[in-house]
C-alpha cells in the first residue's frame, strides 16, 4: 500500500508537471513537435490578464469548465454500501446510492476546505463537499488539473469556519487554450490517471485483505 501511494504521488506530479509545461509555461508541442513559446510561437497580449498568451487562447473562469453543486445531506449516510461516501477529508464510508460519478470534488468547509480530490467511479457526495460537474467530457483531465493549479485552499473565506462558495469558484480566472490542444492533453493525461485508478483499486483490495487476515488471526489467537 505504501509503495502504491508513492507511485500514485509520482504519477500525479507527472501529470501536473506536463500541465504546467503546456498551459502555464506555454511550451506545448507545436505543429513540428517543438516547444511552442521557446520556438517562436506567436504570443498575444491579453489586456484582462495583463500578460501574453498564445494566439487563439482566451481568458475565462472556472465557470467555463464546471457547474458547481453542493452534495446532499449534512450527515454521513454510511451503511456499508458499495459506493464510497466522500466528506471534505476523503472517503468516510459506503452507501447504497450514488449522486456523482468520475468527477473532482472540493472540500466545502472546515479543515479540508478547498481541498481538491478526483473521485473515480460512482460515489456519494455529502453536503461538506462541492461536486464539480464538467461541461465537456473531452476535457476531463485538463479541467481537473486546472482546478488543482488554482490552490483553492488559499481562496477560502471566513475565519472561524472557513468555507468555499459557488461565487468564489465561478469567479476564479482560467486561461483557456484551443479545444484541440486541451483534447490532445486529455488523451495523454488519461493514460496517467488510468494507472492511478488501478493503484487505488489495488490498495482497496489490499486493505480489505489485511482486515480479513487480522480478523482471522484474532480468532485463532483467542
Digit-coded pLDDT (tens) for 2-59 = 999 999 999 999 999 999 999 999 999 999 999 999 999 999 999 988 899 999 999 9
Instruction: Categorize the per-residue pLDDT at 75 as very low, low, confident or very high, splitting at 50, 70 and 90.
Output: confident
Residue ranges of alpha helices (H) inside the chain are 2-23, 140-149, 166-171, 179-221
Q: Which residue has the higher pLDDT, 207 or 41?
A: 41
Q: What is the mean pLDDT of residues 58-80?
A: 90
Measured between alpha carbons, how far is 194 from 216 in angstroms, rounded to an integer?
Answer: 33
pLDDT at 170 over 90: yes
Measured between alpha carbons, how far is 163 from 108 in angstroms, rounded to an integer?
Answer: 6
Q: Are 142 and 182 spatial neighbours (Cβ–Cβ below 8 Å)? A: yes
CA angle, 159 then 109 then 11, to 5°: 115
pTM over 0.85: yes
pLDDT at 164 over 90: no
Instruction: Categorize the per-residue pLDDT at 158 as very low, low, confident or very high, splitting at 50, 70 and 90.
Output: low
Starting from the edge strand earliest in sequence, which strands make up the sheet with 90-95, in order? 66-70, 129-134, 100-107, 116-125, 83-87, 90-95
Closest CA to 61 of 146, 187, 160: 146
Q: What's the sign of the alpha-carbon dihedral 97, 125, 17, 171?
A: positive
Measured between alpha carbons, how far is 66 from 129 in angstroms, rounded to an integer?
Answer: 15
Q: What's the confidence (pLDDT) of residue 218?
A: 76
Measured between alpha carbons, how far is 118 from 50 in angstroms, rounded to an integer?
Answer: 31
Q: What's the confidence (pLDDT) of residue 80?
A: 87
| Whole-number percent of the chain with pLDDT over 90 | 67
* Rg over CA atoms, the chain: 20
HSE-up (13 A, CA, CB side) for residue 147: 29
Measured between alpha carbons, how far is 4 from 109 in angstroms, rounded to an integer?
Answer: 29
Q: What's the confidence (pLDDT) of residue 155?
A: 73
pLDDT at 217 over 90: no
Question: What is the overall mean pLDDT for the chain?
Answer: 91
pLDDT at 122 over 90: yes
What are the Cα distances from residue 177, in Å, to 31, 59, 198? 15, 9, 30
Closest CA to 169 of 108, 123, 128: 108
Amino acid at each position: 500500500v505504501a509503495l502504491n501511494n508513492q507511485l500514485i504521488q509520482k504519477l500525479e506530479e507527472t501529470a501536473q508537471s506536463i500541465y504546467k509545461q503546456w498551459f502555464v509555461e506555454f511550451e506545448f508541442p507545436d505543429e513540428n513537435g517543438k516547444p511552442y513559446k521557446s520556438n517562436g510561437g506567436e504570443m498575444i497580449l491579453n489586456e484582462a490578464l495583463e500578460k501574453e498568451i498564445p494566439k487563439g487562447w482566451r481568458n475565462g473562469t472556472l465557470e467555463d469548465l464546471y457547474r458547481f453543486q453542493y452534495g446532499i445531506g449534512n450527515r454521513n449516510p454510511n451503511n456499508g454500501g458499495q459506493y464510497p461516501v466522500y466528506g471534505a477529508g476523503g472517503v468516510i464510508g459506503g452507501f447504497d446510492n450514488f449522486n456523482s460519478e468520475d468527477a473532482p470534488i472540493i472540500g466545502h468547509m472546515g479543515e479540508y476546505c478547498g481541498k481538491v480530490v478526483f473521485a473515480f467511479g460512482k460515489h456519494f457526495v455529502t453536503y461538506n463537499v462541492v461536486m464539480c460537474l464538467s461541461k465537456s467530457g473531452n476535457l476531463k483531465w485538463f479541467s481537473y488539473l486546472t482546478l488543482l493549479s488554482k490552490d483553492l485552499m488559499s481562496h477560502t473565506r471566513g475565519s472561524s469556519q472557513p468555507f468555499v462558495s459557488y461565487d468564489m469558484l465561478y469567479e476564479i480566472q482560467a486561461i483557456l487554450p484551443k479545444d484541440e490542444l486541451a483534447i490532445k492533453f486529455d488523451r495523454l493525461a488519461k493514460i496517467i490517471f488510468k494507472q492511478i485508478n488501478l493503484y487505488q483499486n489495488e490498495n482497496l483490495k489490499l486493505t480489505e485483505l489485511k482486515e480479513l487476515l487480522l480478523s482471522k488471526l484474532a480468532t485463532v489467537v483467542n
